[in-house]
Amino acid sequence: MGKPTNSEKITQNLFDVMDTITVSALKKFSRARKVPSPTYSSYLIALEEKDWSYAVKPLYSYTISTNKKGVPYIDYEKPQRAYKKLFSSGR
């Protein structure tokens, strides 16, 4: 993000805290083996590679655009997007 406003900074800080809590909970419950097998496998790979994006989807990422020939590329000129759904179904 270029120059975020105050409300964008607050939101970004909230997302960063949520991401930190998610990764720490993954570590805690995976060590205790209280997660499903696919989650545990992702945890082991992330632990071995020292890259938590193998276990938890990255919080921010650049958009993927296509050029005039239809070839996709990562567009670093656009700001990063946050991929979090902040709604529930109300159930």
Mean pLDDT by 10 residues, the chain (91 residues): 79 87 92 91 92 85 89 88 66 56
Q: Is residue 1 part of a domain?
A: no
pLDDT in the model for residue 72 = 93
Structural domain range at position 21: 6-82
The set of residues, in sequence order, having a beta carbon less than 8 Å from that of 66 and lying 6+ positions away, is 72, 73
Q: Is residue 48 part of a domain?
A: yes
Give the gyration radius of the chain's Cα atoms: 17
pLDDT in the model for residue 32 = 92
Q: Is residue 88 part of a domain?
A: no
Q: Is residue 35 part of a domain?
A: yes
Q: Is residue 25 part of a domain?
A: yes
CA angle at residue 46 from 33 to 20, to 5 degrees?
A: 80
Percent helix, strand, coil in the chain, to 5, is 45, 15, 40
pLDDT in the model for residue 88 = 59
Domain count, the chain: 1
